[in-house]
Structures are given as C-alpha cells and as structure tokens.
Amino acid sequence: MSLTRPIRRLLAPILATAVAGSLVAATAPTSSADDGGGTKRPDIVGGTTTNTAKYPWQVRLHVDTNEGTALCGGAIIHSRIVLTAAHCLAGALGVTTYFGRDQASSGGVTSQPYGWITTDGYNASTFDNDYGLLFYDTPIPSAFKPIQIAGPAEAALWRAGRTAMAVGFGNVSEGGSTSPTLQEVALPIQPDSSCSAASAYGTFYRSSSMLCVGYPEGGRSTCQGDSGGPLVVPGDNGVWRIAGVVSWAEGCARPGKPTVFTRIAEPAMSARLVDEINEVKSNYGFLFPGTESAINILGSGAVPLGCAAANGAAASAAAAVGPAQQAAAKAAAALKKLKKQQKAAAAKLKKLKKQHASKGAIAKATKAKKAVDKKVKKGTATAAAKARALSAANTANSASATAARSACS
C-alpha cells in the first residue's frame, strides 16, 4: 500500500478519489455548506465549549483541495498516526494538522503529515468504510495523547443505548457558521433500525460499516466541519475508546435523521485497519523507528462507565443475602421452639382444669401460658420481619445482578 503524499513533495501516486454520489459527506470546502439538495455535512450543533485537555487526542485538519480548503477532525491513535474520514482525504492536495488547538484560529502545534491513505474498501458513492489514516515522519508531541479504538472484546462500551461524545469545530447550526471554539456534545448510540428505517436512510445505511448515533427528536448532533472526528465512549477508571468516525448525515441535527458514523470499532473493520497500518509499516519502516514500531491501536480490558460500581453493588447485595438467610432461619427456629412451648403450656392448663386442680395451680399455669403466648407473639413478629428482610435482600440481589449485567454488557 502506497502513501498519498502532498503535491509539493509527491513521491507516490495519488490514491484518493473524488467524492461522488447522491449524498454529500460530512465535510466540504469552507466555501460551500450545502450541495443544493438539502444534504449537509456534520458539525457540533447543541454542544458546549470544551478543550483538548479533556480530549488530548482531538485533531483539527485543514485539507487543501482543488475546490478550496475543507475543515475536518481527526484523532491521534499512535505517536505517528491520525485517524480521520476517507472522504476528508478524497482529492486532498495537502493537509495541515493542528494538535492541541482549542480556538479555531490560534493555539496548539501545527504539523503536516508525511502522507496518507484511504482504506481500499472505501466507496465514495455509498460512504462504506469511510476512514483514512495520516502518517507523520516526526513524532506527534507527547503532550497530545493517543486514544485506542475499542477492541474486539470491548463491544459493550459502544452498544446501542450507550452515551458517546462527539467533538469538533463544525457548524453550530445547519447552514450556520463554524464554531470559534472546540465544542462537545453527548449523543446516544441508536440501534441500527433507527437509521435503516425508510423514514431515515433506508437501504443506504449499512450496519456492517456504519453506526447510528443521535437523538430521535434532533436538536443536538454533528454538522459541517466535524467530519473525520472521533466518536468516543467512556469507560471505568478514566478510560476512553473510539467507537466511530464522523461520516455523514442528512442535514444537521434534524428530527429522525441521526448522524451516521463509520463503525470503526467493528472487529472486522478494525482488523482491516490494523492490517493496512502494518502494510504501511512494512513499506515505510522509517516512519516507525525504535519503540514506535510497536503499534497497538486497539484497546483491551476496558469496561463501560459504571460497570465496576455496578459489580460492586451487586457483590454487596449478594453478600447481604447470606446473613439475611441466617437471621430468618434463626428467627423461624426460635418461633418453632416457642410454639412447642405454647402448645405444652396450653395442654398443661387444659389438663389441670380437667383434673379440677387447685385454683393456685390453675392460676400459675394460666400465667405461664400467657407468658409463652406473649413470647410467641413477639417471635412471630420477629420471624416475619426477618422473612421480609430476606425477601428484600433477594430482590435487591436480583435487581443488582440485572443492573450489573446491563452496565457491563
């Protein structure tokens, strides 16, 4: 696999293909925000200001094309590699990278990649496999930390129903202007059916390579200029993983029109990405000297945010069942013993009365029976309370176990 190089120092054939087809991707030259048919490219709508201290892997890209300069996002996934969207690099003549930039027009560190690739599986007409990689011949400054793509065993991080974060400088409204500051927005990951519905994107949405994200009611999402930026999901212990790459949408934050992200964490796709990186490494070994040749871009061992707490709560709930069982059993045994005493006291009193025993003996037996009756009443209440406590412990144990399964899987 050959790297596409900037025109000013071209060493390999240009591989990128011009974007074509009925839908327009999530980015465009800054001089154009609409294709005339109502299809926009994604940016942050309904977001809030953030910074690269929180998202140190976030990258701003200026992509020079024959049509102008396009704004895209990206993510550092290795000290020499940035992940972005393939359509951002289609027709690119040169790329300027801004690491650690919180303001649109200033700050951070500027760099140019040595070259880039788009995956061989990218289809510019359908946006299948919409990802590309930028490679650098000097290390990305260590202040800007890489983020790993969710690994094959970490699918629980990005299943439907999880909340993810999208970050970028894109338009703050459909047809509006780009943001002067880095923006973030929390977005729910939707089931594939939300995007494959006829009212959304129908058969244009392909669940094998695309991920459906956004609010059914609209109002918050990505927009023009956010293309190529990562969709990131949080895990326990401060871990973050990439689940997707901003790809395309109809409009910006429209009701019933979620944003479609490249399904980059899908094991088949991430495995292909790793193979492509290894091929570049084989052909351009000088880009990965020393320890930088160890390329581990896929995560492992991360669990969804709240999983550890849910497992802890489940463990505590399970541990409470045993003592509750013991307490209930002890109270039941004590009550059984008291009822035997009550039965014996009642039998004795009945016998004394039948034998016409003295008033003193009958009074004594009556008093003894009342004392036992009182103990039985108290023991019955205690046993019932312990039984209720056991039932509550079992219910809590079951609920906590269910919550833990939901939180962790």
Q: Which of 78, 87, 194, 209 is catalytic?
A: 87
Residue 202 near residue 216 (C-beta atoms within 8 A):
no
H-helix or E-strand containing 276?
helix 267-283
User: Would you say the C-alpha torsion 263, 265, 268, 273 has a positive or negative sign?
Assistant: positive
| Paired sense of beta strands 259-262 and 210-213, if any | antiparallel
In whole angstroms, what is the distance from residue 206 CA to residue 201 CA? 10
Q: What is the secondary structure of 78-111 as a DSSP string?
A: ETTEEEE-HHHHTT-SEEEEEES--BTTB-SEEE
Cβ burial of 360 (10 Å; 0-12, 13-18, 19+) is exposed
**Which of the following is catalytic: 130, 226, 247, 270?**
130
Which residue in 51, 274, 26, 25 sits closest to 126, CA to CA?
25
Encoded tokens for 377 = 């009443």
- Coil, strand or helix: which one is 98? strand
Measured in whole angstroms, the distance separating CA 31 from the mean position of its chain's CA atoms is: 34
Nearest CA to 59 out of 246, 237, 219 is that of 246
Q: Which of 304, 307, 278, 340 is nearest to 163 (CA)?
A: 304
Residue position matching structure tokens 């036992």:
372
The DSSP symbol for 140 reads P
Cα gap 92→67, rounded to integer Å: 10
Catalytic (active site) residue 111: no
Catalytic: 87?
yes
Tokens describing residue 186:
């929390």
| DSSP string of 316-356, one letter each residue | HHHHHHHHHHHHHHHHHHHHHHHHHHHHHHHHHHHHHHHTT
**130 catalytically annotated:** yes
Q: Kindly report the CA angle at 146 between 141 and 150, in degrees rounded to 5?
A: 170
Asked if 73 and 169 count as a contact pair (C-beta separation under 8 A), the reply is yes
Residue of 179, 194, 209, 227 marked active site: 227
Beta strands 81-84 and 132-135, pairing class: antiparallel
The dihedral of CA 36, 39, 40, 41: what is its sign?
A: negative
Active site residues: 87, 130, 227
